[in-house]
A and B are shown apart, each in its own frame.
Chain A
């Protein structure tokens, strides 16, 4: 490898000489934000604070969701275990029989599965992931003072908070939260009398999610507008970091798909409250016919999955963007195939709208129509494979620093490959009909969009923690966190494939009545044990996170990773407005590592006379 020169760029000199003066600090609103504690940390309009609010709320929900998964894993692995010790926390959710042995009530088993899914998909991996990093990185990486509308941005977080509060309230209802699965298919979700959680629990669930969609839309509008309108001088679209590209496309996907979900929810609400028959037809309860005639529950499935499938890309695309950025920086290599990466993100975003019915192969759809959806589903493998190839080739011959963010980024690629491959199986209707609603499906989506997205999120948190809080997280704890998590995650979800192939159905409270599934008892116990291990590792992460906010090693260098993107040209704690003086002006793409003999060249460094910005 050619010898490289390690230079430190004098950021302030570049900004002063090359920067763009937008007269920001001359306006009266330059200082408007430096006010009381409440407007600085609580009702803040600063995108950096809002990002932290998203992150910490997301973490709280992640722990609630993960705690639920532990309880139902205990039920699945050790159905005979005495759970009476959980009564102080879960109260009436634990039934105690005459011998004093406590067991999880089946109704609440379903409630926990449902809330685990809802919370993880929407609150953690949508709001916690894209909410956090879109907010934090978009203005900083494109060289903007803040979002296009800081006020709407603040509203976006507070709608999410409202959604959180309503969802949390539903956990404390006597009849429990909604229990009909996170997809909320009617009739379980449409008839208040269908099951325990279908009454008040479902009302709160719907209200919470409508607030949540408002939050996503307000956020998304802002992200798109900011990327299009507020890029600094020289920051053309082909010079945007891949993180910003992925947040941008994610926001567009959300903007187009979430309103359709709201449409579906409105019809569902009307079915529940006004007695319409959009989704209900010919239902008999205790021999008594309900008045609903002519509805179709399949209609709900179409409306739900029109959001539902793009939603998985809303979850995974930000993680992909973060991983690209982290890998390139920590391997000191330009990202391989930058434009191919961008085109892949766009292609995935586009195709995500054409595949929703692959979730509905068993709904009795026309097999001819199914072919269309199979085809487009399998085509998504092409841009996904392009991205995986580019990540691996970015690492190839790179100067790989195995820092914690880098480890998580590599872990992401590993999970994305293993989970993506099973997606090829499930995308085919003939296999999907066999595998439908088995643990194979559970294993597939947990690996590809659950664990993988979490790894992307961890990579992002570890990587940008110094930028967020001005301190480092502990690297040793981080590495322990990584190894425990990757081993535990594979040991939890890998065996589930075998369960699924053997036909073990998901969402079952117990397998007592299926003799041939008893061979999996040990496997189920192993899964439960590793779920516990994985959860413990996350406690370690939470400790590291909160401890480091207050007592971590202080960041002394403005650009600790020698990265090229603009957020590192701002002071570590710049306050509202991001740059104390002029805005940086961009001269090159963000991945100029090892170019012309220098280790890295930040985007604000002008081109040499004989240098060209080609990539």
Chain B
């Protein structure tokens, strides 16, 4: 049995709806539109012909697994926080951060593998599009890592309390992170089936 060892602050009201969380949802909508626009551009360009077909780097399968697991660990950390389990909260956050970095490294390895096969960014648009879609996703993930780093730092070296502010913060970062996971699966599936 894990002991509940995080203290409650007065304003703690559990996982309640907050305007800032809604702001994040809307932000996700606009990111989704960015990728929707690029994916449409991909489809339009591909149908015009002169399109290079190449297999995706094998390591993308492992990076996909990594990001799915990182999403799960973040969900685990969030649940632990709401229940007041400090240890698993800390571990979950830290694991998520590590897995996020691992994902980025794998993406980088994937790009170098592609590049060595002769598929550079400035060659056939098929390659350029792949780099743009995966690269923009990675950029968004780096932004998420910065936010995670702040929370990890607080959880390990700061004073952990149950506060409404922290719940909202965790919610916001969780939605963002899960969104990036789903976005990656969609991108990977799209690139895999629409080559």
Residues of A within 8 A of B (CB): 148-149, 152, 217, 220-222, 224-226, 228-230, 255-260, 262-264, 266-267, 270, 274-278, 291, 293-296, 299, 302-303, 306
Q: Which B100-115 residues have C-beta < 8 A from chain A?
A: none
Q: Which B36-51 residues have C-beta < 8 A from chain A?
A: 36-38, 40-41, 44-45, 48, 50
30 example contacts (A-B, Cβ-Cβ < 8 A) are as follows A148-B19, A148-B20, A148-B23, A149-B20, A217-B27, A221-B30, A224-B26, A225-B22, A225-B23, A225-B26, A228-B22, A256-B30, A256-B33, A258-B30, A260-B36, A260-B37, A263-B38, A266-B132, A267-B38, A276-B125, A277-B122, A277-B125, A277-B128, A278-B125, A278-B128, A293-B50, A294-B50, A296-B44, A303-B37, A306-B37
* A255:B30 contact, CB within 8 angstroms: yes
* B122:A274 contact, CB within 8 angstroms: yes
B1 within 8 A of A: no
Q: Which B121-152 residues have C-beta < 8 A from chain A?
A: 121-122, 124-125, 128, 132, 136
The secondary-structure label for the interface of chain A is: helix
Across the interface, name the chain B residue whose C-beta is closest to A294: B50
* B50:A267 contact, CB within 8 angstroms: no
Across the interface, name the chain A residue whose C-beta is closest to B31: A259
* A229:B19 contact, CB within 8 angstroms: yes
* B22:A259 contact, CB within 8 angstroms: no
Residues of B within 8 A of A (CB): 19-20, 22-23, 26-27, 29-31, 33-38, 40-41, 44-45, 48, 50, 121-122, 124-125, 128, 132, 136
* B22:A148 contact, CB within 8 angstroms: yes
Q: How far is the CA of A384 from the CA of B180 in the complex (A)?
A: 39
Q: How far is the CA of A263 from the CA of B136 in the complex (A)?
A: 10
Contacts of A152 in B (CB 8 A): 23
* B19:A267 contact, CB within 8 angstroms: no
* A296:B45 contact, CB within 8 angstroms: yes
Contacts of A275 in B (CB 8 A): 122
* B45:A278 contact, CB within 8 angstroms: yes
Contacts of B37 in A (CB 8 A): 259-260, 263-264, 303, 306
* A302:B34 contact, CB within 8 angstroms: no
Q: How far is the CA of A262 from the CA of B36 in the complex (A)?
A: 12
**Residues A230 and B33 in contact in the complex (CB < 8 Å), given A263-B41, A275-B122:** no
Q: How far is the CA of A260 from the CA of B36 in the complex (A)?
A: 8
Contacts of A293 in B (CB 8 A): 50
* A230:B128 contact, CB within 8 angstroms: no
Q: How far is the CA of A222 from the CA of B48 in the complex (A)?
A: 40
Identify which of B45, B50, B136 contacts A266 (C-beta below 8 A). Answer: B136
Across the interface, name the chain A residue whose C-beta is closest to B48: A296
Contacts of A217 in B (CB 8 A): 27, 30
* B36:A274 contact, CB within 8 angstroms: no
Q: How far is the CA of A509 from the CA of B30 in the complex (A)?
A: 39
CB distance from B130 to the nearest CB of A (A): 11
> Which 3 A-B pairs rank lowest in CB-CB distance, beginning with the nearest?
A260-B37, A259-B34, A148-B19
CB distance from A312 to the nearest CB of B (A): 18
Across the interface, name the chain A residue whose C-beta is closest to B33: A259
Q: How far is the CA of A85 from the CA of B170 in the complex (A)?
A: 63
Contacts of B38 in A (CB 8 A): 263, 266-267
Q: How far is the CA of A255 from the CA of B26 in the complex (A)?
A: 8
CB distance from B129 to the nearest CB of A (A): 8
Identify which of B23, B35, B121 contacts A149 (C-beta below 8 A). Answer: B23
**Residues A267 and B41 in contact in the complex (CB < 8 Å), given A259-B33, A277-B125:** yes
Contacts of A266 in B (CB 8 A): 38, 132, 136
Q: How far is the CA of A225 from the CA of B29 in the complex (A)?
A: 13
CB distance from B111 to the nearest CB of A (A): 14
Q: How far is the CA of A94 from the CA of B38 in the complex (A)?
A: 42
* A262:B125 contact, CB within 8 angstroms: no
* A229:B22 contact, CB within 8 angstroms: yes
* A294:B121 contact, CB within 8 angstroms: no
CB distance from A298 to the nearest CB of B (A): 9
Contacts of A276 in B (CB 8 A): 121-122, 125, 128
Q: How far is the CA of A257 from the CA of B33 in the complex (A)?
A: 7
Q: How far is the CA of A230 from the CA of B18 in the complex (A)?
A: 10
| 19 more CB-based (< 8 A) A-B contacts, given A148-B19, A264-B37 | A152-B23, A217-B27, A217-B30, A221-B23, A221-B27, A221-B30, A222-B23, A255-B26, A259-B30, A263-B34, A267-B41, A267-B132, A277-B122, A278-B125, A278-B128, A291-B122, A293-B50, A294-B124, A296-B45
Contacts of B19 in A (CB 8 A): 148-149, 225-226, 229-230
* B29:A256 contact, CB within 8 angstroms: yes
Identify which of A220, A260, A299 contacts B34 (C-beta below 8 A). Answer: A260
CB distance from B65 to the nearest CB of A (A): 28
CB distance from A90 to the nearest CB of B (A): 38
Across the interface, name the chain A residue whose C-beta is closest to B30: A259
Among B20, B33, B37, B122, chain A packs the most CB atoms within 10 A around the CB of B37
Q: How far is the CA of A302 from the CA of B45 in the complex (A)?
A: 11
Contacts of B41 in A (CB 8 A): 263-264, 267, 278, 299, 302-303
